[in-house]
Homo-oligomer: A and B are copies of this chain.
């Protein structure tokens, strides 16, 4: 069970290698919500997402033997890149299992951070089996993207920094998918001050966490339909029990509301935020009447989104990427 102390210790452990991301405000959004909103910009974190915090915290706590055997994860998203970079910075070998139809840009980015990529079929079974085979063959340690205490404690350091820098927050809002970020944020908030209210945003097309909390049982995420691709996973026993204890309410938002919030981040705050990262602002806007007058901390979880739709307007210029 992750404690507030674990998050304080994680903060000390990882602070020299994580970015202390800026906390930004927007007078437009304050006016729209009639509240004071402080955005913790984890889209500006290394690898473009909060995931780097947990991955680094996990790799730091390997034994020497485990370090020598390396780490493994199955992910085609932010966790893969986060673990690859964290491992590489600490001279640990990383192996990432990816479906063979993964976009080349993600494969190359993860490889660029130093990981070995092993391809599998595009099914959950194949991913799990391939990962288990690597663990067996190499003795590598499987690092789950959220069902892992070190990952949760590391994720909680983003909210902790926000709480330490902005006095007297009334509310913290984070997105929920598998629940790692929300778990860590809620432990940080309640540990810092038990009166802080913790809210979550979840896509209505992937509302398994909402239903799980309502009914007191974990529902799997079956065929989720949302553009927030980072939030399509379901809770684990570990994240479910933390969230049940700490989180007041999950606010459901539609994809239309997510895109509106995303556009506000881009247009008014000049921040590139991925759909999952805009879910907390969408939730805040939906609940603005009940939250009016509050001092609110919002975690922007990440900013990794395909920019081709924007930059293709310049394709007559024959721009090649540097990287």
Q: Verify if A256 is at the interface (C-beta below 8 Å from B).
A: yes
- Contacts known (A256-B318, A259-B317, A319-B259); A307 close to B264, Cβ less than 8 A: no
Q: Is the CB of B322 within 8 A of A264?
A: yes
Collect the chain B residues with CB atoms within 8 Å of residue A267's CB.
272, 307
Q: Residues on A close to B: CB < 8 A?
A: 22, 24, 27-28, 32, 41, 43-44, 46, 48, 227, 255-256, 259-260, 263-264, 266-273, 285, 303, 307, 309-314, 317-323
Chain B residues whose CB sits within 8 angstroms of the CB of A309 once the complex forms = 309-310, 312-313
**In the complex the two chains form, is A260's CB within 8 Å of B319's CB?**
yes
**Least distance between A91 CB and chain B CB atoms (Å):** 17
By a CB distance below 8 angstroms, the chain B residues around A268 are 323
Q: Give 28 A-B contacts (CB < 8 Å), ordered by A residue.
A: A22-B22, A27-B46, A28-B323, A41-B270, A44-B269, A44-B270, A48-B270, A227-B314, A256-B319, A259-B314, A260-B319, A260-B320, A260-B321, A260-B322, A263-B307, A263-B321, A266-B311, A267-B272, A268-B323, A270-B272, A270-B273, A270-B303, A285-B322, A307-B310, A309-B309, A309-B312, A309-B313, A310-B310
- For the complex formed, measure the closest distance between the CB of A309 and the CB atoms of chain B, giving whole angstroms: 5
- Interchain CA distance A272-B271 in the complex, whole Å: 6
Chain B residue at minimum C-beta to C-beta distance from A42: B270
On chain B, the residues within 8 Å of A321 by CB distance are 260, 263
